[in-house]
Structure 1
Amino acid sequence: MDLTSGPITKTLILFALPTLASNILQTLSGSVNSIWVGQFLGEGALAATANANIIMFLMFGAFFGFGMAATVLIGQSMGRGDIDAARRATGGVIGLALLFSVLIAVVGWFASDRILRWLETPPEAFTLAHDYLRVTFLAVPASMLSVTLMMASRGAGDAITPLRFMILAVVLDVVFNPVLILGLGPFPRLGIAGSALATAAAGTISLIGMIAWFYRKNHVLRLRGRELSYLYPKWSELRFIIGRGLPMGAQMFVISGAGLVMIGLVNREGLVTAAAYGATLQLWNYIQMPALAVGAAVSSMAAQNIGARRWDRVSAVTTSGITINLAMTGVLIVLLLLFDRAALALFLGSESPAIEVSRNIQLIATWTFLPFGTTIVLISTLRANGSVVPPLIILFLSMFPIRFGIYHFGYPLIGSDIIWWSFPLSSLASLAMAWVIYRRGNWRGPMPQPA
Structure 2
Amino acid sequence: MAGGSPLLTGPILPTLLRLSVPNVLALVMSVLVGVAETYYVGQLGTVPLAAMALVFPFAMLTQMMSNGAMGGGVSSAISRALGAGDRNKAGTLALHAIAIGAGVGLAYALLFVLCGPVFFGWLGGQGEVLHTASGYGQVLFSGAMLVWLCNTLASVVRGTGNMRVPSSVVFAVAVLQIAVGGALGLGLGPFPRWGMTGVAVGNIVAMACGVLVLLAYLQWGQTRVRIPWRGVQLSWPMFRDILRVGALACLSPVQSVLTALIMTGLVARLGPQALAGYGIGQRLEFLLIPIAFGVGVASVPMVGMAMGAGQVQRARRVAWAAGWVAAVALTGIGALVVLWPQLWSRIFTTDAQVLHHADLYLRMAGPGFAFFGMGLALYFAALGSGRIWGPVLAGTARLVVVAGLGLWLSQQAGVTAQSLFLVVTAGMVVYGLGTAWAVWRTRWD
TM interval, short-chain normalised: 0.7 to 0.9
TM-score, with length taken from structure 1: 0.83
Match of 2:282 in 1: 281
* 1:286 counterpart letter in structure 2: L
Cα shift at 1:429: 3.6
SS of 1:157's partner is coil
**Equivalent residues of 1:290, 1:325 under 8 A apart:** yes
Hey, what's the Cα distance between the residues in 1 that align with 2:321 and 2:109? 41
Match of 1:329 in 2: 330
Cα shift at 1:249: 1.0
* Structure 2: segments with no counterpart, 5+ residues: none
* 2:243 counterpart letter in structure 1: I
Match of 2:215 in 1: 211
**Equivalent residues of 1:91, 1:228 under 8 A apart:** no
Match of 2:251 in 1: 250
The 5 Å alignment of 1:38-437 reads 38-39=42-43, 41-61=44-64, 63=66, 65-105=69-109, 121-124=125-128, 129=133, 131-181=135-185, 190-223=194-227, 226-230=228-232, 232-267=233-268, 274=275, 276-347=277-348, 349=350, 352=352, 361-401=361-401, 404-405=404-405, 408=408, 416=416, 418-437=419-438
* Structure 1: segments with no counterpart, 5+ residues: 446-451
Hey, what's the Cα distance between the residues in 1 that align with 2:293 and 2:98? 23
| Residue from 4, 9, 12 that aligns with 1:5 | 9
Cα shift at 1:368: 1.0
- What does the per-residue CA deviation read over 1:377-434, in whole Å, with 9 as the maximum and x for residues that have no partner? 333333222222222222112331477359859998x975554444444444444433
**Equivalent residues of 2:31, 2:290 under 8 A apart:** no
* 1:2 counterpart letter in structure 2: P
SS of 1:220's partner is coil
Q: 1:222 to 1:181 in 2, by over 3 A?
A: farther
Q: 1:59 to 1:373 in 2, by over 3 A?
A: closer
**Equivalent residues of 1:288, 1:329 under 8 A apart:** no
Greater alpha carbon shift after TM alignment, 151-160 vs 108-117: 108-117
Hey, what's the Cα distance between the residues in 2 that align with 1:354 and 1:385? 43
Hey, what's the Cα distance between the residues in 1 that align with 2:415 and 2:55? 34
Q: 1:282 to 1:199 in 2, by over 3 A?
A: closer
Hey, what's the Cα distance between the residues in 2 that align with 1:144 and 1:244? 17
* 1:333 counterpart letter in structure 2: G
TM-score, with length taken from structure 2: 0.84
Q: 1:355 to 1:172 in 2, by over 3 A?
A: closer
Q: 1:154 to 1:268 in 2, by over 3 A?
A: same
Q: 1:145 to 1:276 in 2, by over 3 A?
A: closer
Q: 1:347 to 1:205 in 2, by over 3 A?
A: closer
Match of 1:20 in 2: 24
Greater alpha carbon shift after TM alignment, 203-212 vs 103-112: 103-112
SS of 1:346's partner is coil
Cα shift at 1:162: 1.3
Cα shift at 1:74: 1.0
Match of 1:32 in 2: 36
SS of 1:158's partner is coil
Cα shift at 1:13: 0.8
**Equivalent residues of 2:66, 2:147 under 8 A apart:** no
Hey, what's the Cα distance between the residues in 1 that align with 2:191 and 2:115? 29
Cα shift at 1:311: 2.0
Q: Which is greater in Rg?
A: 1
* 1:209 counterpart letter in structure 2: V
